[in-house]
Structures are given as structure tokens and as C-alpha cells.
Amino acid sequence: MSTPTPLLQVEDLKKHFAVPSGPFRPRNWLRAVDGVSFDIARGETLSLVGESGCGKSTVGRTILRLLPPTSGRLTLDGQRIDTLPQSQMRLLRKRMQVVFQDPFSSLNPRMTVRGILADPMINFGLVRSRAEIDARVATLLDKVRLPADAARRYPHEFSGGQRQRISIARALAPGADLIVCDEAVSALDVSVKAQIVNLLSDLQAELGLALLFISHDLAIVEHMTHRVAVMYLGKIVEIADRRTLFSRPRHPYTRALLSAVPVPDPKAKRQRIVLTGDVPSPLNPPSGCAFHTRCPYAFDRCRVEGPALRPRASGQLAACHLDDLPPV
Ligand code: SF4
């Protein structure tokens, strides 16, 4: 599933970790990300969702080259970045920034907000004078809707939501056009979550940002994303535009995740599908379809043959042998 002018292209990305298994035994491989492909256009949000441990954060960190990819191809604005040495990658980092989950630990407590925002501008050589720094810091604070006097205060003087605004301003400071939001609102209260999501949407509309929004919370994703990719055990099992995914999921795992999302209208209650069993270990994934140990519709073929991610009539790509799901 491709977008017209992708800013970021991810092709068959793999990130495997070697796990020691003891003397005289072959090394085990943890396949955290195992052949993931998608792209994101300017001004678009793609949400990467799935349970904890499915590999979604590893995808984000590998795209940012905080982790070296095992294989695959990463392209930013037409330039291949998976093979770039770290020295050249450093220059590109100003275009790819991250907002992490925990605004309490991701901001340096000894720096004022001015210092935190000035740091990337200075590191990337974007400013020439104190006056220029002050002007840019004031503009950034205004963009994230913090008062101008926030510049001389320290992170501990702010609430969680305000700190996340500072993290977003820091991501914007070097002029990023792709921001990876790694569970960026997960630690916040519901009302604060909505404020931060609205802020991100407004900034996206104003600046044409591409957002990779990594989250386990489909209720939040439903209100802010353009497309959704669902991950299970290191692979994308379904990818679709928001409306299609939420109205006509074609993968049993997506359907189960959606069944847990609360609906505002009590009469339109979704029937909850409770998955039995734990997520299998990516060190020893099940044969065939990795979801077969928990899938309510699994049949013999599922245990021996892994399904390909293939297009469906309703528009999405889904990795399931079934052409359509049985009614709930
Ligand atoms: Fe379930 Fe089989 Fe589809 Fe896998 S391929 S999701 S086990 S029905």
C-alpha cells in the first residue's frame, strides 16, 4: 500500500537480535522486526499498533538508525539512509526526530527549556546569535502553546502534558519533517492525551509533518491517524486507511484489538473478542501463521503455511488465508 509521494519508504525491514544460548549451542535469534514495509507521505500520519513486544518501537528506533537494521531498505526523501555511515546520518537526523513516551526522563532536568530547545539548533548549526536563538525559542513555544516565560524554567516545573509539549518543540527545533512519536501520549491522562494529539494534528497541518505514531491505544489512533498498520510478532498483519480498518477489519487480530476499543454510543456496543493465550515469544515463533495459536478461526493450513500480506476488495492489505472473516 503506497502513498503518492512518500517522504519515508521502509522496504522489507528486519531487525534481529542475537541471543546467547549457552556454550556449545548455536546462537538464537530474536526476530523483533521481520520484513516490514510501508511508506509515509508528507502531511500524513501512519499509526503502528499492536500489543507490547510486537516490535513496533523497534521499527521506530531502526528507522531513526538508533539501532542498525539487520537488512532491508530505508529511504528518506529519495535518499537511501540504511547504508549511510553514522557521520552522515548525523546531518540527516535534524529531519527525523523522536518524541518518547516518558517526558519525565527524556528532558535533561539540569537544563532550562531555552537550553533544551537551543541545543539541537546549535548542534546542527542553525543559529548564529543569542538573539536568533531567543527568537526561535519564542516561536517554538508559541507553536506548542506554552507561554514565553516557559523558556527560563526547568522541566520539573511543568506537568506531564506540558513536558510533552516541550519534547515536541525540541523535535521541531532542528526543522524535522518526520517525527516518530513512540507511545508519546501513553503516559498522559485522557484529556491531556487529546490535547497533545490535537496539537500534533495542528502542527502537521501547518508544517506538513509526516508522523509515525507508535501506540498500543487504538482509541487514540482512531481519532488522529490517516492510515494504520497492525503488527503482530514482528510483522505487519494488516495495513489500511483509518476508515477501512475501523469499519471492515480483514485480519482476526485487528478485529480482536478493535473489539476492545470503547464506542461512545452504548447502543452500538462492539462485541468483545477475548484472545486466549499469551503472545508467543519472538525467539520461537509458531510455525505457519504466527497468530494461529490464538486465532479463533485457525484451520489446518494456518499451522503450516504463513499467509502473505495481500490486497483485499475493501482496499487494505491483510495477511490471512481467509478471504473474508466470518460474522462475529
Ligand atoms: Fe487466523 Fe489462519 Fe488467518 Fe492466521 S491465516 S489469522 S490463523 S485464519
Task: Give the domain ranges of the chain.
Answer: 249-328
pLDDT at 149: 97
What is the residue with the minimal CA distance to atom 6 of ligand 1?
A: 320
The DSSP 8-state label assigned to residue 290 in this structure reads T
Report how far residue 11's alpha carbon sits from residue 117's, in angstroms, rounded to the nearest whole number.
33
- 73 phi and psi, to 5 degrees? -135, 130
The alpha carbon of 33 and the centre of ligand 1 are apart by a number of angstroms equal to 20
pLDDT band at 4 (very low <50, low <70, confident <90, very high): low
CA distances from 104 to 58, 118, 141, 180, 194 (A): 21, 19, 18, 18, 19
* Ligand 1 geometric centre to CA of 43 (Å): 34
**Cα distances (angstroms) measured from residue 275 to each of 51, 148, 229, 257, 279:** 12, 49, 19, 9, 10
In the DSSP assignment, the letter for residue 30 is E
Q: How far is the CA of 3 from the centre of ligand 1 (A)?
A: 27
The confidence band for 266, taking pLDDT boundaries of 50, 70 and 90, is: low
Q: For the residues 184-203, what does the mean pLDDT come to?
A: 94
DSSP string of 114-147? HHHHHHHHHHTT---SHHHHHHHHHHHHHHTT--
Instruction: Please report which confidence band the pLDDT of residue 277 belongs to, taking 50, 70 and 90 as the band edges.
Output: confident
1, pLDDT greater than 60: no
- State the Cα–Cα distance between residues 39 and 46, nearest whole angstrom: 8
Q: Which three cell numbers stand for residue 123?
A: 548542534
Confidence of residue 264 (pLDDT cuts 50, 70, 90): confident
Best residue among 257, 291, 310, 316 to mutate for probing ligand 1's pocket (most ligand atoms within 8 Å of CB) is: 291
Q: What is the pLDDT of residue 44?
A: 97
Question: How confident is residue 276, by pLDDT bands cut at 50, 70 and 90?
Answer: confident
Test site for ligand 1: of 230, 232, 295, 305, most ligand atoms within 8 A of the Cβ: 295
Instruction: Label residue 273 by pLDDT band (50, 70, 90).
Output: confident
The alpha carbon of 212 and the centre of ligand 1 are apart by a number of angstroms equal to 27
Q: Report the mean per-residue pLDDT for the chain.
A: 93
Q: Give 39 Cα–ligand 1 centroid separation in angstroms.
A: 25
- For residue 299, pLDDT over 60 is answered with yes
| DSSP-derived secondary structure letter, 264 | S
Over the stretch 24-59, which tens digit does the pLDDT of each residue have? 777 789 999 999 999 999 999 999 999 999 999 999
Measure the CA–CA gap between 218 and 215, rounded to whole angstroms: 7
Pocket test for ligand 1, best of 297, 299, 304, 324 (most atoms within 8 A of CB): 297
Q: Is the CB of 296 under 6 A from ligand 1?
A: no
107 lines ligand 1 (CB under 6 A): no
> What is the spatial distance between Cα 50 and Cα 282, in angstroms, rounded to a whole number?
14
Distance of alpha carbon 281 from the chain centroid:
21
pTM of the model: 0.94
Indicate if the pLDDT at residue 271 is higher than 70: yes
Tell me the pairing of strands 178-182 and 96-99: parallel
Cβ–Cβ < 8 Å for 195, 224: no
Q: In 3-state terms, what secondary structure has residue 214?
A: strand
Atom number of ligand 1 nearest to Cα 297: 8
CB 265 within 8 A of CB 83: no
Which helix (H) or strand (E) segment holds residue 89: the answer is helix 86-92
Residue 20, pLDDT > 90, answer no
Share of the chain above pLDDT 90, in %: 80
Rg (CA), the chain: 21
Check: CB of residue 113 under 8 Å from CB of residue 157. Answer: no
Q: How remote is the CA of residue 288 from the centroid of ligand 1, in Å?
A: 9
Pocket mutation for ligand 1, best pick of 320, 324, 325 (most atoms within 8 Å of C-beta): 320
Q: For ligand 1, pick from 301, 321, 323 the residue to mutate: most ligand atoms within 8 Å of CB.
A: 321
Within 8 A by CB and 6+ apart from 253, the residues are: 230, 232, 237, 238, 275, 291, 294, 295
Is the Cβ atom of 302 under 6 angstroms away from ligand 1?
A: yes
Q: Is 298 in the pocket of ligand 1 (CB under 6 A)?
A: yes
Residue 103 above 80 pLDDT?
A: no
Position in ligand 1 atom list of the atom nearest CA 303? 7
Task: Identify the CA nearest to 35 among candidates 180, 233, 252.
Answer: 233
231 Cα–ligand 1 center, Å:
14
Cα(245)–Cα(228) distance, rounded to whole angstroms? 7
CA of 317 to the centre of ligand 1 (A): 14
